[in-house]
Amino acid sequence: MSPSLKQTGSYRGRFAPSPSGPLHFGSLVAALSSYLDAKVNQGKWLVRIEDIDTPRVVAGAADNILTTLEAYGLYWDEDVVYQSQRHALYQAYLTTLKSDSLMYACQCTRKQIKAMGGFYNNHCRALALSWQDNALRLQQRCPVTEFNDAIQGMVVIPPAIAHEDYIVKRRDGLFAYQLVVVVDDIEQKISHIVRGADLLEPTARQISLFRQLNQPSPEYAHVPLAVAEPGFKLSKQNHAPAIDNHNPLPTLYAALRYLHVPVDSLHNYQDVDALLTHAIDIFSLDSVPKVQEIQLDSLENGDFAFRPLFSSTSI
């Protein structure tokens, strides 16, 4: 990270949870790492609620997430953005892509794509199908086969994924994640993204879309996922337990240790503010384990046992 970012305050990071349930330990690790990196670099830390996938939204989850962040001392610097309130913005970008002849309708089902070998082979690109009741795909003009990650190093993307035309608007009419996340990052002028390693593969598509829109892409850093067992990440879909809002200090301490932040004994910190203040003074992405997964064998009272897994950065 260049000294100029620290001097100008142009660093803009973000945490973008989906409101499909309460925050769990893995969510806290992602939020905390992005927050610390922004603060270390004297930048802004934003929160975006990614509620574009309305069937997965749980009533009250967004408010619960914001309450949890506050309980852990993770305060955002600008108004919270909700994707569900930005449909006109996303449609404007789609209109631009359409006018540039970069989109087409696709009728292929998941079953058909599975028969293609699991990757879409751009079958519908030349069919001139109706845009009604079909998914819309973006022609991949800027494939990304590798990129450098601040934690994981050089990440190599299989050609079948890198060259795949991907969906930007779903058959059900909902805007696709790959489109809206890039639009939001452009509009919010996000310069650095620190998030979980489960998003390494989508990052390649997002970088390609930044390029197709003639926009600079952010710098990326992907922290290792907290998993219950290899390949089984802690997630809302897997019913990971919610973190404790009433006694946040031990869990915050555990998350810092997970990130290899050299904190003192838990008893040396009176509250989350004191712990975070100390963490900001000493945090560095360089110390984060350069693995894609860390298995938690236990997590209790700020202490945990873990085993790092999957150090390879090939997808």
Q: Is 142 a known ligand-binding residue?
A: no
* Closest CA relative to residue 138, chosen from 101, 89, 85, 109: 101
Q: Is 108 a known ligand-binding residue?
A: yes
**Residue 133 phi, psi dihedral angles, 5° rounding:** 65, 20
Q: Is 72 a known ligand-binding residue?
A: no
Which residue in the block uniquely carries the two structure tokens 């330990």? Answer: 25
Tokens read off for 100: 């540039």
* Closest CA relative to residue 287, chosen from 312, 264, 262, 309: 262
**Is the separation of the CB atoms in 218 and 34 below 8 Å?**
no
Q: Is 162 helix (H, G, I), strand (E, B) or coil?
A: helix
Q: Is 120 a known ligand-binding residue?
A: yes
Q: Is 202 a known ligand-binding residue?
A: no
Q: Is 312 a known ligand-binding residue?
A: no
Laid out side by side, the sheet with 166-169 consists of 103-106, 135-138, 166-169
Q: Is 16 a known ligand-binding residue?
A: yes
Distance of CA 276 to the CA centre of its chain: 22
Report d(CA 245, CA 195) in Å as an integer: 22
Q: Is 236 a known ligand-binding residue?
A: yes
Q: Is 169 a known ligand-binding residue?
A: no
Residue 133: which region, alpha, beta or left (left: phi > 0; alpha: psi -120 to 50)?
left
Contacts by 86-92, CB closer than 8 A, 24 or more apart: 86/180, 86/183, 86/184, 87/175, 89/183, 89/187, 90/175, 90/179, 90/180, 90/183, 91/175
In 157-196, which positions are buried (b, 16+ CB within 10 angstroms) versus exposed (e)? beeebbbbbbbbbeeeeebbbbbbbbbbbbebebbbbbbb
Tokens read off for 163: 């060259």
Q: Is 224 a known ligand-binding residue?
A: no
Q: Is 114 a known ligand-binding residue?
A: no
* Closest CA relative to residue 12, chosen from 163, 208, 186, 174: 186
Q: Is 248 a known ligand-binding residue?
A: no
Side-chain-side CA neighbours of residue 210 (13 Å): 21
Q: Which residues make up each annotated binding site?
A: 14-18, 50, 106, 108, 120, 124, 177, 195, 236
Q: Which residues make up each annotated binding site for Zn(2+)?
A: 106, 108, 120, 124
Q: Which residues make up each annotated binding site for ATP?
A: 236
Q: Which residues make up each annotated binding site for L-glutamate?
A: 14-18, 50, 177, 195
